[in-house]
Chains A and B, each alone.
Chain A
Amino acid sequence: MTALDYVLAGVLAVIHGPEAFTLLGFPVSITVLMVVAGFFAGIVVGATPGLGQVIALAISLPILISIFGFNASALLPVMGFMIGIMKGSTVGGAVPAILFNTPGTPDSYMTTLDGYPMTRNGQAQKALRVAHFSSVSGDTFSDICLFVFAPSLAILVERYLDLPEKTALIILSLSFIAVVVGRSPAKGLAAAALGLFFVYVGTGEDFHPRLSLNAPALADGIPITAAVIGVLVIGSIFSELEKLWREKSTAGTITATSQSGDGRLHWTDIRRIAPYIGRSAVIGTAIGALPGIGSTLAATLGYASGSAFHRRRKAPDEPDFGKGAMQGIAATEAANSSVAGANLIPVLSLGIPGNTAAVFLVLAADSIGGFNPGPGVFRFTSDVNPELVIAFGLFTTMVIANILNWTVGGVFMRCMGIMIRIPRQFLLPVVLLLTFASLYVQQTSMAMIGFALFFGALGYLMIKLGVSPLPFVIAFVLGRQLESTARQAFSATGGDPFFLFSSWIAVTFMAGAVAIIVITIRRRSKSA
Chain B
Amino acid sequence: MYGADSRRPGRRPMRSLHPDTVLAVILLAFAAALLLFWLPADTDTGLYEIKRGKFTIGDALAPAFAGAVMAVAGLLLLFGPRAHDAPKLDADHVRFLSAMIAIVLVGMVLMRWVGPAATMLFADDDYRLLRDTVPWKYLGFASGGFVIVAGASSVVEGRFSRRAALAGLVAILLIIALYDLPFDDLLLPPNGDV
Contacts and interface: CB of A to CB of B under 8 A. Distances in A.
Interface of A: 63, 66-67, 183-187, 189-190, 192-194, 196-197, 200, 204-208, 210-213, 238, 241-242, 244-246, 248-249, 423, 425-426, 428-430, 432-434, 436-437, 440-441, 443-446, 449-450, 453, 457, 460-461, 464-466, 479, 482-483, 486-487, 490-491, 495, 521, 524-525, 528
Nearest to B55: A495
- Nearest 5 Cβ contacts at the A-B interface: A444-B192, A495-B55, A204-B59, A196-B66, A186-B76
Interface stretch (B7-15, B116-124, B167-175): B167-175
A124 B54 CA distance: 69
B83 interface: yes
Interface string B153-178: 10111100001101110111011001
Contact of A430 (B54, B72, B170, B190): B170
B183 to A, nearest CB: 6
B57 A446 contact: no
B74 A190 contact: yes
Interface string B95-137: 0110011001100100110000000000000000000000000
A460 B156 contact: no
Contacts of B112: 446
Nearest to B42: A211
B156 A482 contact: no
A63 B69 contact: no
Nearest to B167: A426
Contacts of A184: 20, 77, 83
A426 B150 CA distance: 8
B190 to A, nearest CB: 6
Interface residues of B, number: 86
B5 interface: no
A196 B62 contact: yes
Contact of B80 (A212, A428, A443, A521): A521
* Most central of B73, B178, B179 by chain A CB within 10 Å: B73
Given A66-B183, A196-B66, A482-B62, A491 B153 contact: no
A212 B42 contact: yes
Interface of B: 19-20, 23-24, 27, 31, 34, 38-39, 42-45, 54-63, 65-67, 69-70, 72-74, 76-77, 80-83, 86-89, 92-93, 96-97, 100-101, 104-105, 108, 111-112, 141, 145, 148-153, 155-158, 163-164, 166-168, 170-172, 174-175, 178-179, 183, 185-193
A364 to B, nearest CB: 17
B93 A464 contact: yes
Which of the listed residues A196, A207, A430, A483 has the most CB atoms from chain B within 10 Å of its own CB?
A430
Given A66-B183, A457-B97, A465-B23, A200 B66 contact: yes
B37 to A, nearest CB: 11
Contacts of A524: 81
A193 B69 contact: yes
Contacts of A460: 97, 100
Contacts of A238: 96-97, 100
A450 B74 contact: no
Contacts of B65: 196
A186 B152 CA distance: 33
B147 to A, nearest CB: 10
A425 B63 contact: no
B189 A189 contact: no
A453 B76 contact: no
A487 B31 CA distance: 23
A429 to B, nearest CB: 4
Given A429-B152, A444-B187, A490-B55, A210 B27 contact: no
Given A194-B70, A465-B87, A495 B56 contact: yes
A482 B61 CA distance: 12
Nearest to B171: A430
Given A196-B69, A245-B156, A457-B100, 20 more contacts: A66-B186, A186-B20, A186-B24, A186-B73, A189-B73, A190-B73, A192-B69, A193-B70, A196-B62, A206-B58, A211-B63, A241-B155, A433-B175, A437-B145, A437-B189, A441-B179, A446-B108, A449-B189, A466-B87, A487-B56
A482 to B, nearest CB: 7
A185 B158 contact: no
A192 B73 CA distance: 10
17 contacts: A63-B179, A66-B183, A200-B62, A208-B44, A429-B150, A432-B152, A433-B172, A440-B192, A443-B192, A444-B187, A449-B104, A449-B189, A461-B89, A464-B87, A465-B23, A483-B57, A491-B54
A212 B168 CA distance: 36
A421 B164 CA distance: 16
A197 B149 contact: no
A197 B38 CA distance: 12
B135 to A, nearest CB: 18
B157 to A, nearest CB: 6
A248 B157 contact: yes
A211 B110 CA distance: 31
B111 A446 contact: yes
B104 to A, nearest CB: 5
